[in-house]
Protein backbone atom coordinates (compact mmCIF):
# COMPACT_ATOMS: atom_id res chain seq x y z
CA UNK A 1 0.00 0.00 0.00
CA UNK A 2 2.80 2.37 0.97
CA UNK A 3 4.71 1.58 -2.19
CA UNK A 4 1.66 2.21 -4.33
CA UNK A 5 1.24 5.68 -2.87
CA UNK A 6 4.82 6.58 -3.71
CA UNK A 7 4.34 5.42 -7.29
CA UNK A 8 1.27 7.58 -7.58
CA UNK A 9 3.11 10.64 -6.39
CA UNK A 10 5.97 9.88 -8.76
CA UNK A 11 3.63 9.67 -11.74
CA UNK A 12 1.93 12.93 -10.84
CA UNK A 13 5.30 14.63 -10.41
CA UNK A 14 6.43 13.30 -13.75
CA UNK A 15 3.27 14.61 -15.41
CA UNK A 16 3.93 18.05 -13.92
CA UNK A 17 7.43 17.89 -15.36
CA UNK A 18 6.16 16.99 -18.83
CA UNK A 19 3.57 19.75 -18.55
CA UNK A 20 6.12 22.41 -17.62
CA UNK A 21 8.46 21.43 -20.44
CA UNK A 22 5.73 21.41 -23.09
CA UNK A 23 4.07 24.59 -21.84
CA UNK A 24 7.34 26.53 -22.15
CA UNK A 25 6.36 28.53 -25.23
CA UNK A 26 3.54 30.14 -23.30
CA UNK A 27 4.42 33.74 -22.65
CA UNK A 28 1.19 34.65 -20.99
CA UNK A 29 1.36 33.30 -17.44
CA UNK A 30 -1.45 31.60 -17.57
CA UNK A 31 -7.29 29.79 -24.24
CA UNK A 32 -17.99 28.22 -25.03
CA UNK A 33 -15.58 25.71 -26.38
CA UNK A 34 -13.03 27.08 -28.74
CA UNK A 35 -13.57 25.71 -32.22
CA UNK A 36 -11.31 23.29 -34.04
CA UNK A 37 -8.31 25.06 -35.56
CA UNK A 38 -9.13 28.39 -33.94
CA UNK A 39 -6.21 28.40 -31.55
CA UNK A 40 -2.67 28.72 -32.94
CA UNK A 41 -0.57 25.51 -32.55
CA UNK A 42 1.65 26.93 -29.79
CA UNK A 43 -1.40 27.62 -27.65
CA UNK A 44 -3.01 24.28 -28.45
CA UNK A 45 0.05 22.40 -27.22
CA UNK A 46 0.63 24.61 -24.20
CA UNK A 47 -2.91 24.37 -22.87
CA UNK A 48 -2.94 20.64 -23.52
CA UNK A 49 0.32 20.25 -21.62
CA UNK A 50 -0.96 22.31 -18.71
CA UNK A 51 -3.91 19.94 -18.35
CA UNK A 52 -1.85 16.75 -18.12
CA UNK A 53 -1.01 16.86 -14.38
CA UNK A 54 -4.60 17.69 -13.43
CA UNK A 55 -6.05 14.86 -15.45
CA UNK A 56 -3.43 12.41 -14.17
CA UNK A 57 -4.08 13.48 -10.57
CA UNK A 58 -7.81 13.20 -11.30
CA UNK A 59 -7.41 9.65 -12.53
CA UNK A 60 -5.78 8.61 -9.25
CA UNK A 61 -8.28 10.60 -7.22
CA UNK A 62 -11.11 8.70 -8.90
CA UNK A 63 -9.38 5.37 -8.40
CA UNK A 64 -9.02 6.07 -4.70
CA UNK A 65 -12.55 7.35 -4.21
CA UNK A 66 -14.41 4.53 -5.95
CA UNK A 67 -12.26 1.74 -4.48
CA UNK A 68 -14.39 -0.85 -2.74
CA UNK A 69 -17.64 1.07 -2.96
CA UNK A 70 -19.85 0.37 -5.96
CA UNK A 71 -22.18 3.21 -5.07
CA UNK A 72 -19.33 5.69 -5.49
CA UNK A 73 -18.85 4.53 -9.06
CA UNK A 74 -22.56 4.96 -9.66
CA UNK A 75 -22.45 8.49 -8.24
CA UNK A 76 -19.42 9.35 -10.35
CA UNK A 77 -21.18 8.07 -13.45
CA UNK A 78 -24.15 10.27 -12.55
CA UNK A 79 -21.88 13.32 -12.24
CA UNK A 80 -20.41 12.57 -15.66
CA UNK A 81 -23.86 12.00 -17.11
CA UNK A 82 -25.03 15.31 -15.67
CA UNK A 83 -22.22 17.12 -17.50
CA UNK A 84 -23.20 15.17 -20.62
CA UNK A 85 -26.80 16.35 -20.46
CA UNK A 86 -26.10 19.97 -19.56
CA UNK A 87 -23.41 20.51 -22.19
CA UNK A 88 -25.79 19.19 -24.84
CA UNK A 89 -28.45 21.76 -23.98
CA UNK A 90 -28.00 24.89 -26.02
CA UNK A 91 -30.18 27.41 -24.28
CA UNK A 92 -31.34 30.81 -25.48
CA UNK A 93 -30.07 33.82 -23.57
CA UNK A 94 -31.07 37.46 -23.14
CA UNK A 95 -28.43 38.59 -25.64
CA UNK A 96 -30.28 36.86 -28.45
CA UNK A 97 -27.70 34.15 -28.88
CA UNK A 98 -27.36 30.64 -27.50
CA UNK A 99 -24.79 28.92 -25.37
CA UNK A 100 -24.73 25.88 -23.14
CA UNK A 101 -24.02 25.21 -19.46
CA UNK A 102 -21.07 23.06 -18.46
CA UNK A 103 -22.55 20.72 -15.86
CA UNK A 104 -19.23 20.20 -14.11
CA UNK A 105 -20.23 21.89 -10.85
CA UNK A 106 -21.90 18.74 -9.48
CA UNK A 107 -18.79 16.63 -9.98
CA UNK A 108 -16.59 19.34 -8.48
CA UNK A 109 -18.72 19.56 -5.34
CA UNK A 110 -18.98 15.79 -4.87
CA UNK A 111 -15.70 14.38 -6.13
CA UNK A 112 -13.43 17.42 -6.21
CA UNK A 113 -11.96 19.37 -9.12
CA UNK A 114 -9.22 16.88 -10.08
CA UNK A 115 -11.65 13.98 -10.55
CA UNK A 116 -13.98 16.30 -12.47
CA UNK A 117 -11.24 17.17 -14.97
CA UNK A 118 -11.38 13.55 -16.16
CA UNK A 119 -15.16 13.83 -16.65
CA UNK A 120 -14.59 17.09 -18.54
CA UNK A 121 -12.15 15.46 -20.96
CA UNK A 122 -14.63 12.68 -21.71
CA UNK A 123 -17.48 15.11 -22.48
CA UNK A 124 -15.24 17.34 -24.59
CA UNK A 125 -13.83 14.40 -26.54
CA UNK A 126 -17.34 13.16 -27.35
CA UNK A 127 -18.38 16.60 -28.58
CA UNK A 128 -15.17 17.17 -30.53
CA UNK A 129 -15.22 13.82 -32.30
CA UNK A 130 -18.90 13.30 -32.98
CA UNK A 131 -20.47 16.74 -32.95
CA UNK A 132 -17.79 18.96 -34.51
CA UNK A 133 -18.30 21.08 -31.39
CA UNK A 134 -15.06 22.27 -29.83
CA UNK A 135 -12.17 20.36 -31.36
CA UNK A 136 -9.21 18.05 -30.93
CA UNK A 137 -6.66 20.83 -31.46
CA UNK A 138 -8.48 22.95 -28.87
CA UNK A 139 -9.17 20.04 -26.50
CA UNK A 140 -6.43 21.19 -24.12
CA UNK A 141 -7.68 24.75 -23.90
CA UNK A 142 -11.29 23.64 -23.49
CA UNK A 143 -10.35 21.04 -20.90
CA UNK A 144 -8.50 23.71 -18.98
CA UNK A 145 -11.47 26.10 -18.94
CA UNK A 146 -14.35 23.65 -18.50
CA UNK A 147 -12.63 20.71 -16.83
CA UNK A 148 -10.15 22.45 -14.55
CA UNK A 149 -10.72 26.20 -14.04
CA UNK A 150 -14.52 25.93 -13.72
CA UNK A 151 -14.48 22.95 -11.32
CA UNK A 152 -11.74 24.52 -9.18
CA UNK A 153 -13.77 27.72 -8.89
CA UNK A 154 -16.88 25.69 -8.06
CA UNK A 155 -15.03 23.65 -5.45
CA UNK A 156 -13.52 26.77 -3.87
CA UNK A 157 -16.90 28.53 -3.67
CA UNK A 158 -18.52 25.42 -2.20
CA UNK A 159 -15.87 25.16 0.51
CA UNK A 160 -16.19 28.87 1.25
CA UNK A 161 -19.97 28.67 1.66
CA UNK A 162 -19.62 25.59 3.83
CA UNK A 163 -17.22 27.49 6.10
CA UNK A 164 -19.79 30.28 6.30
CA UNK A 165 -22.28 27.63 7.41
CA UNK A 166 -24.59 28.24 4.45
CA UNK A 167 -27.20 25.53 3.75
CA UNK A 168 -25.89 22.85 1.38
CA UNK A 169 -28.35 23.78 -1.38
CA UNK A 170 -27.21 27.42 -1.33
CA UNK A 171 -23.55 26.40 -1.41
CA UNK A 172 -24.16 24.04 -4.32
CA UNK A 173 -26.10 26.68 -6.25
CA UNK A 174 -23.34 29.26 -6.02
CA UNK A 175 -20.64 26.68 -6.68
CA UNK A 176 -22.27 25.63 -9.97
CA UNK A 177 -23.18 29.22 -10.87
CA UNK A 178 -19.67 30.58 -10.38
CA UNK A 179 -18.09 27.48 -11.93
CA UNK A 180 -20.13 28.01 -15.08
CA UNK A 181 -19.33 31.72 -15.35
CA UNK A 182 -15.66 31.24 -14.57
CA UNK A 183 -15.33 28.66 -17.35
CA UNK A 184 -16.35 31.27 -19.89
CA UNK A 185 -14.21 34.00 -18.32
CA UNK A 186 -11.22 31.72 -18.76
CA UNK A 187 -12.27 30.92 -22.34
CA UNK A 188 -12.39 34.66 -23.07
CA UNK A 189 -8.89 35.16 -21.70
CA UNK A 190 -7.60 32.15 -23.57
CA UNK A 191 -8.87 33.62 -26.84
CA UNK A 192 -7.62 37.09 -25.91
CA UNK A 193 -4.13 35.81 -25.14
CA UNK A 194 -3.96 34.09 -28.52
CA UNK A 195 -5.62 37.00 -30.36
CA UNK A 196 -4.54 40.24 -28.66
CA UNK A 197 -6.14 43.41 -29.96
CA UNK A 198 -3.80 45.31 -32.28
CA UNK A 199 -4.39 48.52 -30.34
CA UNK A 200 -5.33 47.60 -26.77
CA UNK A 201 -3.51 44.28 -26.42
CA UNK A 202 -4.71 41.26 -24.49
CA UNK A 203 -6.94 43.16 -22.07
CA UNK A 204 -8.87 45.02 -24.77
CA UNK A 205 -9.33 41.78 -26.62
CA UNK A 206 -10.46 40.01 -23.43
CA UNK A 207 -13.13 42.65 -22.90
CA UNK A 208 -14.44 41.96 -26.42
CA UNK A 209 -14.57 38.20 -25.91
CA UNK A 210 -16.13 38.63 -22.47
CA UNK A 211 -18.75 40.78 -24.19
CA UNK A 212 -19.66 37.81 -26.35
CA UNK A 213 -19.60 35.15 -23.63
CA UNK A 214 -20.17 36.62 -20.19
CA UNK A 215 -23.57 38.28 -20.57
CA UNK A 216 -24.92 35.40 -22.65
CA UNK A 217 -23.76 32.99 -19.98
CA UNK A 218 -25.30 34.77 -17.00
CA UNK A 219 -28.87 33.38 -17.18
CA UNK A 220 -27.52 29.97 -18.21
CA UNK A 221 -25.30 29.95 -15.15
CA UNK A 222 -28.38 30.54 -12.99
CA UNK A 223 -30.15 27.64 -14.71
CA UNK A 224 -27.11 25.45 -14.23
CA UNK A 225 -27.02 26.34 -10.53
CA UNK A 226 -30.69 25.42 -10.09
CA UNK A 227 -30.42 22.14 -12.02
CA UNK A 228 -27.34 21.18 -10.03
CA UNK A 229 -29.24 21.79 -6.79
CA UNK A 230 -32.09 19.55 -8.00
CA UNK A 231 -29.81 16.59 -8.68
CA UNK A 232 -27.68 17.21 -5.60
CA UNK A 233 -30.72 17.23 -3.30
CA UNK A 234 -31.92 13.99 -4.84
CA UNK A 235 -28.57 12.34 -4.29
CA UNK A 236 -28.46 13.70 -0.75
CA UNK A 237 -31.82 12.15 -0.01
CA UNK A 238 -30.95 8.69 -1.30
CA UNK A 239 -27.23 8.45 -0.73
CA UNK A 240 -26.41 10.50 2.32
CA UNK A 241 -23.74 8.15 3.64
CA UNK A 242 -21.66 8.41 0.44
CA UNK A 243 -21.86 12.19 0.49
CA UNK A 244 -20.64 12.08 4.09
CA UNK A 245 -17.72 9.92 2.98
CA UNK A 246 -16.92 12.40 0.20
CA UNK A 247 -17.26 15.25 2.69
CA UNK A 248 -19.78 16.86 0.35
CA UNK A 249 -22.69 17.64 2.65
Helix 41-66 × helix 70-86 angle, to 10°: 150
**124-153: contacts with other proteins (CB under 8 A):** 126-133, 135-137
Nearest-approach distance from CB 178 to other proteins, in angstroms:
17
Q: Are 148 and 54 in contact (CB under 8 A)?
A: yes
Residue 197: phi and psi, rounded to 5, are: -65, 140
According to CB under 8 A, which one of 24, 201, 233, 244 is a site residue for other proteins? Answer: 233
According to CB under 8 A, which one of 90, 160, 166, 207 is a site residue for other proteins? Answer: 90
According to CB under 8 A, which one of 41, 167, 244, 247 is a site residue for other proteins? Answer: 41
* SS3 state at 200: coil
Check the CA dihedral 229-106-165-219 and report its sign: negative
65 contacts other proteins (rule: CB under 8 A): no
Nearest-approach distance from CB 38 to other proteins, in angstroms:
5
* SS3 state at 92: strand
According to CB under 8 A, which one of 33, 118, 141, 150 is a site residue for other proteins? Answer: 33
Report the distance separating Cα 185 and Cα 196, nearest Å.
15
**188-217: contacts with other proteins (CB under 8 A):** 191, 195-198, 205, 208-209, 212-213, 216-217
Ranges assigned E (strand) in 26-66 = none
According to CB under 8 A, which one of 104, 227, 243, 246 is a site residue for other proteins? Answer: 227
Q: Which C-beta is closer to other proteins: that of 160 or that of 202?
A: 202
Q: Are 136 and 36 in contact (CB under 8 A)?
A: yes
102 contacts other proteins (rule: CB under 8 A): no
Amino acid sequence: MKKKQIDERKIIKFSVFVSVILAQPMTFSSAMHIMEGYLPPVWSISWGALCIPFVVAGFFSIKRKIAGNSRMLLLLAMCGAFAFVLSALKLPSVTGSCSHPTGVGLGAVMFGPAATSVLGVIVLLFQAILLAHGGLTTLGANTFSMGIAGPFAAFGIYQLFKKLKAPAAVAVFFAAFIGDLFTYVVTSFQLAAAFPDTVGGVMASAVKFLGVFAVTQLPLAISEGLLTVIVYQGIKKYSRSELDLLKAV
